[in-house]
Amino acid sequence: MYTQSFSVQDQAEGKPAGLKAVPLSEAEQVLNNRFEATIDADGKIEPRDWMPDAYRKTLVRQISQHAHSEIVGMLPEGNWISRAPSLKRKAILIAKVQDEGGHGLYLYSAAETLGTSRDQMLAALHSGKAKYSSIFNYPTLNWADVGVIGWLVDGAAIMNQIPLCRCSYGPYARAMIRVCKEESFHQRQGYEALLVMMRGNDEQKAMVQDAVNRWWWKCLAMFGPPDSDSPHSAQGMRWGIKRISNDDLRQKFIDATVPQAQVLGVSLPDPELKWNEARGHWDHGQIDWDEFWATVNGNGPCNKERLATRVKAHNDGQWVRDAALAHARKQQQRTLKEAA
């Protein structure tokens, strides 16, 4: 995955980036004009290019939150690797979870090109200051959850991330191309696992329906608050970072998913879901934003557990980082010796 509008502020951050009007010097004005012209021409901004501070700040926040979401997203599914029902499912799940780790690495690298370090980003995550997608703060209760996460969570992620392949910041856009290809595999493996379960016995079918009931609304919330409630979406759009609004992405997701649910034979837990001929879209009910914000703000069912697991994994891996650094130092000394 994974995105959730990404206009969510990290804790202890000041005024939203992009809304501050900082006066520019004459030289900066020239650079700013060049930046604006590149944006207007739908060109790419590269790490070496001048960019406004607010653009840089917005990207660092968005890309690092995205990277955190990828690696925290490994945890709920990682819990099922040892309990996958067959060797085939285990191999698929391991591959998927590894992909998510890889997505985190591309994204941390992309954020580093903006002048922030990986240590800084991880420190912000581990201290609870940085946000990540709140979808990972819910538990995975049964095997069907793994399928539903692939189908719906990765499905929502693809919807969110395809427009990011055209993001104005080059390194982010390029990272997203590969990420989206892998997300597509994630979505399909989840859907296929559910199709198999829906051909199984009543208990298996009930597990799938239960998982869909629990995840559906949370997946709709992944697209972020309604447009009317997303004050700096407009700036993201202007900068070519965000291409499609939260509500439009959510609608696209619902329209694509309803027919898939019909093929699967599950119902979606929204009595107000109905086809609107005039709009050419599915109408849907109200999302519980209070629950969304409670989870974003640290009070979801698994926030503490996820963070504790992540911090422990990081600490447990310290010896690997130490060993890699020691090896690099030795190699460097050897090279210097040979050169002398």
Closest approach of Fe ion to the CB of residue 156, in Å: 10
Candidates 108-116, 180-188, 248-256, 260-268: pick the segment binding Fe ion (CB under 5 A). Answer: 180-188
For Fe ion, the binding residues in 52-91 under the rule CB under 5 A are 70
Q: Among 154, 197, 212, 246, which residue interacts with Fe ion (rule: CB under 5 A)? A: 154
For Fe ion, the binding residues in 239-278 under the rule CB under 5 A are none
Q: What long-range pairs does 267-271 form, CB within 8 A, spacing at least 24?
A: 267/209, 267/212, 268/212, 268/216, 269/212, 269/213, 269/216, 269/217, 270/216, 270/217
Nearer to Fe ion, 100 or 270 (CB): 100
Q: Among 103, 131, 232, 284, which residue interacts with Fe ion (rule: CB under 5 A)? A: 103
Candidates 36-44, 176-184, 197-205, 317-325: pick the segment binding Fe ion (CB under 5 A). Answer: 176-184
Collapsing DSSP to helix, strand or coil, 41 comes out as coil
Dist. CA 221–CA 243, nearest whole Å: 18
Closest approach of Fe ion to the CB of residue 30, in Å: 39
CA 138 to centroid of chain Cα atoms: 15
Candidates 183-191, 208-216, 294-302, 326-334: pick the segment binding Fe ion (CB under 5 A). Answer: 183-191
Closest approach of Fe ion to the CB of residue 206, in Å: 26
For Fe ion, the binding residues in 19-38 under the rule CB under 5 A are none
Collect all residues with Cβ–Cβ distance below 8 Å to 100 and sequence separation of at least 6.
1, 70, 71, 73, 74, 77
Joined tokens for residue 330: 């030795």
Collect all residues with Cβ–Cβ distance below 8 Å to 144 and sequence separation of at least 6.
194, 197, 204, 207, 208, 210, 211
Closest approach of Fe ion to the CB of residue 91, in Å: 16
Output DSSP code: residue 45.
Answer: B
CA 76 to centroid of chain Cα atoms: 14
Nearer to Fe ion, 186 or 242 (CB): 186
Q: Under the rule (CB under 5 A), what is the footprint of Fe ion? A: 1, 70, 100, 103, 154, 183, 186
